[in-house]
Chains A and B, each alone.
Chain A
Amino acid sequence: MGLAWRMPDSETSRGFFKFLPRDPQDGHTSPSAAEIRQLEDILLGKNSSTDLSSASELIRLRELQKDSILNDLSLCAIQALNGNNHLRCPPTPVLIQPRVADIIDRLLIAREKLFERLEG
């Protein structure tokens, strides 16, 4: 499996980290920790640095895990307003510290560089 599933370079922090306010989606399941650990063990045990298939699968699972945690966050934010139509969830940039906003921007750039390294 290659890296064709990955999102385009134009992906923003807002989209990748599913900024609030956002409606939660049904059917989000997180991959099991055991499945992730097993793939990590395979990758860390290899002498070769070119197992693109396992690397791609691990990234896919980690990003499914990310989507599941962020979907849960959307659900928690909605529950916190208890359906009151006089309340609304402030947007993520208002909720987080500037240094956390900086971390997520930097991680998205590192992700792109990592893909370039794997494809190169």
Chain B
Amino acid sequence: MSGDRLPRPSVSALKARSQALIPRKKKLQILGDIEIGLRSLESNLRDGHPSSGSKVISISNPLQGVVEYGRLLEEVVRLLRHESLTSLGNILRSDALYLNGRNLDSLDISEQSGDIQSEEIEGIVARLTRLEEWLEV
């Protein structure tokens, strides 16, 4: 299939609706910037761990509830940062494949990091559920 006829990824960081609308010189510039951007993302993902490793506490009074809310907030925001940057990286990779006229099936997304994140999400959900139960949400 010609590169120009490959479907644009359903989620994309490209403003243009089709790569056919982008001149070749601009396309090369975008590909170069995506490569630089992916290196920057990898570095920023290494700098911010998705979990703070905070300890779980039992909640039996409002002060303990405040401490647990604060710890949970940090965990959730770290997860949000990690997930947003990981996803943005995957989108840029699929855009690069599309601009190169390659099929998106060749995109390699590591399942290992997804599994680690999945465990963290389950841990956060369990803690949030305990806080909600105490607050009678």
Contacts and interface: CB of A to CB of B under 8 A. Distances in A.
Interface of A: 17, 20, 36, 40, 43-44, 46, 48-51, 54-55, 58-59, 61-63, 65-66, 69-70, 72-73, 76-77, 79-90, 92, 94-97, 99-100, 103-104, 106-107, 109-111, 113-114, 117-118
Nearest to B79: A100
Contacts of A99: 121, 125
Interface centre among B63, B85, B92, B132 (most CB of A within 10 A): B63
Given A72-B48, A73-B85, A117-B135, A107 B80 contact: no
B30 interface: yes
Interface of B: 11-16, 22, 26, 29-30, 33-34, 36-38, 40-41, 44, 48, 57, 61-67, 69-70, 72-74, 76-81, 83-85, 87-89, 91-92, 95, 121, 124-125, 128, 131-132, 135-137
A20 B88 CA distance: 11
Given A103-B125, A110-B132, A111-B69, A70 B81 contact: yes
Given A46-B63, A99-B121, A107-B128, A92 B84 contact: yes
Given A73-B81, A80-B41, A87-B33, A117 B131 contact: no
Given A46-B63, A80-B88, A87-B33, A40 B78 contact: no
Contact of A110 (B22, B64, B79, B128): B128
Contact of B84 (A20, A40, A62, A111): A20
A89 B64 contact: no
Contacts of B128: 103, 106-107, 110
A106 B34 CA distance: 35
